[in-house]
Amino acid sequence: MTGKKIRVKGPATVSNLSCGFDVIGLALDEPFDIVDIELTDTGKVVIDDIRCSKTLSRDPEKNVVGAVLKAASALGGSRAGFRVSIDKGIRPGSGIGSSGASSAAAAFGANLLLGEIFTPAEMVRLAMEGERLASGSAHADNVAPALLGGITLVRSYDPLDIIELHVPPELFCVVIHPETEIKTSVARGLLDREVSLTTAVKQWGNLAGLVAGLFREDYDLIGRSLIDFVAEPKRSVLIKGFDQLKKTALECGALGAGISGSGPSVYALCRGRDSAVAVMKGMSGAMKSLGIRFDAYMSAVNRSGTQVC
């Protein structure tokens, strides 16, 4: 039925969690994007407005929301069109899933407007089309937790197999976002296309340890596993003060810390709200000492994912 409207909120996410490059991510309570979508019978996607961002294109061919809605119309076998306005609460290039949040919101909203015709896995695939446009890679480590909530593992991309992991009740996340931008495509370009067997074995061990730690609610094991031998050594050079920021987080009691997504945001996992407050205070102080403007967020793991708002 044309003329139906919906407002959807897609949350920020922290992907990779150090040892899980392109396969693991968690959803945050804030920040988030809000996407207003109206169903039309034009067969076209029209983006009327993008608030809080001067850099994103309203051309649906160049915007992740447009890419997702076009894919939804095609997959649904309909001539449905959509009119859209976007409120960008997550700055592009932040490393906390800006494109993923908008993509997830678009996939979730399209599914509801078209009569809930897509499975959760199909919605993830639709949202991945937004990521393909944004970074050249149709990865799911941001869009899966953004859509489903919690902490997710991409066991396989072909066929797509998303595993929802256990969320320990005291797990909190702190994110420090410097007021700089790192394009995902640039950050990906720094990575080696191949890694040594020795490096791979260490990384696999940490990823397995992280998953085990989550299910066992073993916070020490979670912390020991948050070590990245693949991306962080290459990407950390793009983030001014990264080493100091990570060191401060650990000194203030964080379980572990690292680069969120492709950066420049830096995340820290903590046990309990009080610990997270102390870690955020310490990391914020480190940023101020470096003279870098930043935003700071503290959140329990968002278990709801994308929602109507």
Rounded to two decimals, the pTM is 0.93
| Active-site residue flag, 40 | no
Tell me the average pLDDT across 42-66: 92
Secondary structure in 3-state letters for the chain: CCCCEEEEEEEEEEECCCCCCCCEEEEEEEEEEEEEEEEECCCCEEEEEEECCCCCCCCCCCCHHHHHHHHHHHHCCCCCEEEEEEECCCCCCCCCCHHHHHHHHHHHHHHHHCCCCCCHHHHHHHHHHHHHHHHCCCCCCCHHHHHHCCEEEEEEECCEEEEEECCCCCEEEEEEEECCCCCHHHHHHCCCCCCCHHHHHHHHHHHHHHHHHHHHCCHHHHHHHCCCCCCHHHHHHHCCCHHHHHHHHHHCCCCEEEECCCCCCEEEEEECHHHHHHHHHHHHHHHHHHCCCEEEEEEECCCCCCEEC
Domain boundary, last residue among 110, 141, 165: 165
Q: Is residue 73 part of a domain?
A: yes
Asked if residue 253 and residue 178 are part of one domain, the reply reads: yes
Asked if residue 190 and residue 161 are part of one domain, the reply reads: no
Asked if residue 267 and residue 151 are part of one domain, the reply reads: no
Asked if residue 111 and residue 238 are part of one domain, the reply reads: no
Q: Is residue 175 part of a domain?
A: yes
Asked if residue 16 and residue 127 are part of one domain, the reply reads: yes
Q: Is residue 308 part of a domain?
A: no
Q: Which of 184, 232, 248, 306 is catalytic?
A: 184
Domain boundary, last residue among 111, 130, 165: 165
Count CB-CB contacts under 10 A for residue 115.
11
Contact 119, 1 (CB under 8 A): no
pLDDT at residue 166 in the model: 98
Asked if residue 36 and residue 161 are part of one domain, the reply reads: yes
Q: Domain count for the chain, please give it.
A: 2
pLDDT at residue 52 in the model: 84
Q: Is residue 305 part of a domain?
A: no
Q: Which of 38, 129, 131, 232 is catalytic?
A: 131
Asked if residue 221 and residue 157 are part of one domain, the reply reads: no
Asked if residue 149 and residue 277 are part of one domain, the reply reads: no
Q: Is residue 309 part of a domain?
A: no
Q: Which CATH number belongs to the domain containing residue 47 in this structure?
A: 3.30.230.10
Q: Is residue 182 part of a domain?
A: yes
Each residue's pLDDT tens digit, 135-175: 888 999 999 999 999 999 999 999 999 999 999 999 999 99
- Give the phi and the psi of residue 196 in degrees, each rounded to 5: -70, 160
Each residue's pLDDT tens digit, 192-221: 789 999 999 999 999 999 999 999 999 999
Q: Is residue 306 part of a domain?
A: no
pLDDT exceeds 60 at position 1? no
| Active-site residue flag, 131 | yes
Count CB-CB contacts under 10 A for residue 251.
11
Asked if residue 161 and residue 175 are part of one domain, the reply reads: no
Q: Which residues contact 91 (CB under 8 A, 6 or more apart)?
A: 53, 98, 177, 181
Nearest CA-CA partner of 308 in 5, 90, 70, 68: 5
pLDDT exceeds 90 at position 190? no
Rounded Cα–Cα distance for residues 286 and 207 (Å): 29
Asked if residue 214 and residue 134 are part of one domain, the reply reads: no
Percent of the chain residues topping a pLDDT of 70: 96
Percent of the chain residues topping a pLDDT of 90: 83
pLDDT exceeds 70 at position 187? no
Specify the higher pLDDT residue, 41 or 180. 41
Each residue's pLDDT tens digit, 225-270: 999 999 999 889 889 999 999 999 999 999 999 999 988 999 999 9
Q: Is residue 228 part of a domain?
A: yes
Q: Which CATH number belongs to the domain containing residue 252 in this structure?
A: 3.30.70.890
Tell me the average pLDDT across 42-49: 93
Residue 125 domain boundaries = 5-165
Asked if residue 34 and residue 158 are part of one domain, the reply reads: yes
Contact 291, 246 (CB under 8 A): no
pLDDT at residue 93 in the model: 86
Domain boundary, last residue among 121, 141, 165: 165
Tell me the average pLDDT across 282-287: 97
Asked if residue 226 and residue 113 are part of one domain, the reply reads: no
Q: What is the chain's mean pLDDT, rounded?
A: 94
